[in-house]
């Protein structure tokens, strides 16, 4: 322990200045400048910010919750695949379309008869030349509407049940087919309109009470209506809705004096007022 303490004391007593000894020269001492420690200012360098790589920590996570909608969609897809696993719907559809196209094509009419110009009998067939002479080839049909639509079949046959509901001539009040089609196109059912509008659209033109007698129109009534349209004269007795008979004026009349109607007119007014 004494030796160790002596060595430490010798090291501490060494001079700070270094001496250079050369043979045949005087000892010269070179003073060294005292080194002063400069304090560095703490500056933030933008380039050194976040230069270190982030450490990725791998932690086993619990399985996430799967939404019920996704599960339902997958189940629905599996059900559809199982349902149509053995059915080739597309090929069946294409076969059906080809059959309809072949059935719609016009066929060659064969007018050959046995025994005309050749021998006839059991087991004999007419020659090819004869068949060619009496064959009538039909013109090619027009292109189908669904020719460029592989997933669509348009039936071009005329349906006889629909022709019953079609109109052959334009009805009276309409002036053009477009006007008639626009009138028919508007729906009048309860599904598309309110109850009040349905009642207005389907209301009859003539409404009578139960038990009322409606007499047929006569020639005199027709002539009266015609004279009214031409001359502008009103009839002697006019029946208006909700009112009694209104007699027309026949020349100057005095107050309190009325012309007595004929028996026929009086009878007709009584029949109308019975309801």
Q: How far apart are CA 72 and CA 70, in angstroms?
A: 5
DSSP 272: H
Helix (H, G, I), strand (E, B) or coil at 135: strand
Confidence at residue 131, expressed as pLDDT on a 0 to 100 scale: 76
Helix (H, G, I), strand (E, B) or coil at 20: strand
Distances, alpha carbon 250 to alpha carbons 232, 237, 262, in Å:
15, 11, 14
Residue 237's closest CA among 248, 224, 227, 221?
248
- What are the strands, taking DSSP E only, across 90-201? 109-110, 135-136
Asked if residue 135 lies in contact with residue 109, where contact means CB atoms within 8 angstroms, the answer is: yes
Token couple for 229: 């349209």
Q: How far apart are CA 160 and CA 82, in angstroms?
A: 41
Average pLDDT per 10 consecutive residues for the chain, totaling 275 residues: 48 47 50 59 68 73 60 82 76 89 85 72 76 82 88 84 85 91 89 92 88 86 65 58 50 48 46 42
Q: Where does 105-249 have alpha helices with state H?
A: 128-133, 160-163, 177-185, 195-201, 219-231
Single pTM value for the model: 0.33
The count of other CB atoms within 10 Å of the CB of residue 216 is 5
φ and ψ at residue 95, rounded to 5 degrees:
-65, -40
Residue 239's closest CA among 256, 221, 257?
221
φ and ψ at residue 245, rounded to 5 degrees:
-70, 130
């Amino acid at each position: 322990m004494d030796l160790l303490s002596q060595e430490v004391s010798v090291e501490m007593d060494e001079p700070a200045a270094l001496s250079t000894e050369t043979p045949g020269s005087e000892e010269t001492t070179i003073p060294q400048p005292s080194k002063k420690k400069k304090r560095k200012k703490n500056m933030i360098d933008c380039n050194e910010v976040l230069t270190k790589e982030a450490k990725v920590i791998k932690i086993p996570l619990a399985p996430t919750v799967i939404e019920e909608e996704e599960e339902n969609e997958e189940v629905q897809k599996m059900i559809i695949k199982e349902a149509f696993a053995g059915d080739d719907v597309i090929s069946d559809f294409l076969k059906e379309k080809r059959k309809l196209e072949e059935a719609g094509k016009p066929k060659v009419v064969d007018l050959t008869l046995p025994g005309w110009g050749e021998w006839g009998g059991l087991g004999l067939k007419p020659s090819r030349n004869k068949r060619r002479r009496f064959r009538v080839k039909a013109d090619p049909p027009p292109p189908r509407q669904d020719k460029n639509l592989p997933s669509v079949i348009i039936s071009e046959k005329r349906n006889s049940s629909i022709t019953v509901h079609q109109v052959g001539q334009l009805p009276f009040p309409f002036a053009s087919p477009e006007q008639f089609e626009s009138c028919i196109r508007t729906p009048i059912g309860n599904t598309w309109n309110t109850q009040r509008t349905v009642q207005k659209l389907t209301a009859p033109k003539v409404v009578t009470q139960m038990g009322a007698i409606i007499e047929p129109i006569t020639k005199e009534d027709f002539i009266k209506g015609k004279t009214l349209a031409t001359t502008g004269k009103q009839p002697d007795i006019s029946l208006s809705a909700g009112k009694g008979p209104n007699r027309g004026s026949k020349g100057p009349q005095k107050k309190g004096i009325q012309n007595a109607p004929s028996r026929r007119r009086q009878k007709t007014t009584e029949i109308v007022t019975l309801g």
